[in-house]
Amino acid sequence: MRVIEERPVSLALAERVGLQHQSPQAMLVRDGSAVWNASHHDITAAALQNAAGASGQ
């Protein structure tokens, strides 16, 4: 999803999972709950791989 084009959706998702909306932001949602999130410089390939691996992906 591109936030710039779907801003209402990204805001609703952040609210639903209990996160403050940030841009850029990455989040991993499982069963309706945010199990990991990062923003800005904390979004790296290694962080995404670690989050996916730690969550059983």
The model's pLDDT over 5-54, given as tens digits with 9 standing for 90+, comes to 888 888 898 899 999 988 888 999 989 899 999 999 999 999 999 999 98
Put simply, whether the predicted model's pTM sits higher than 0.75 gets the answer no
Q: Is 6 part of any domain?
A: yes
Number of domains in the chain: 1
Domain that residue 37 falls in: 1-42
Burial of 21-42, coded b for 16+ CB within 10 Å and e otherwise, reads eeeebbbbeeeeeeebbbeeee
Q: Is 53 part of any domain?
A: no
